[in-house]
Amino acid sequence: LVSEMVHVSKTFGDRVIVKDFTATILRGDKIGLLGPNGAGKTTLLKLILGEHKPDPALANAPKPEPGHSPWGTVRLGANVTVAYFDQMRNALDLDATLEDFISPGSEWIEIGNQKKHRKSYLGDFLFSPARATSPVRSLSGGERNRLLLARLFARPANVLVLDEPTND
């Protein structure tokens, strides 16, 4: 189990974003959310991942069957580790070099059980060794996305969430 949502709703003020949504996401599932800007895709992702709390269940919600979660709950699976690529690009340190951004304080990155030099790893994402010492602020929007993806993939995770990875 990655995440289970049972009759979940979310509102902001008078605006209903998610209403009575139920879903179970299992290991290996691949899910895409499509919709216009402002439709609530990011809010739903944050609900699924437990970053937003759902609205309380209605007082008249039925009692759950044995072994089932009560209405209005979100449950994350055990040992879920999320790698999240968000549309706001909050993780960018514009003053860091590409090398330091990818692997702060270390020359090496561990992918699985293998160590790789960070310049070599950046090369896997089409950054030259000379570019590895450049500041992040010198990158174009697409290059910044590649750098963020490189850092994301270098982290141990078993759930990958891409929230508008090509929005630049």
Which three-class secondary structure string do you get for the chain?
CCEEEEEEEEEECCEEEEEEEEEEECCCCCCCCCCCCCCCHHHHHHHHCCCCCCCCCCCCCCCCCCCCCCCCEEEECCCCCEEEECCCCCCCCCCCEHHHHHCCCCCEEEECCEEEEHHHHHHHCCCCCCHHHCEHHHCCHHHHHHHHHHHHHCCCCCEEEECCCCCC
Q: What is the mean pLDDT of residues 54-71?
A: 71
Most confident range, picked from 3-7, 16-20, 121-125, 156-160: 121-125
In tens, the pLDDT along 107-161 reads 999 988 899 999 999 999 999 999 999 999 999 988 998 999 899 888 888 888 8
Judge whether residue 67 has pLDDT over 70: no
The pLDDT, as a whole number, for residue 30 is 92
Q: What is the mean pLDDT of residues 92-116?
A: 92
Q: Which two tokens stand for residue 93?
A: 């340190």
Max distance between CA atoms of the chain, in angstroms, equals 63
The pLDDT, as a whole number, for residue 84 is 84
pTM score:
0.73
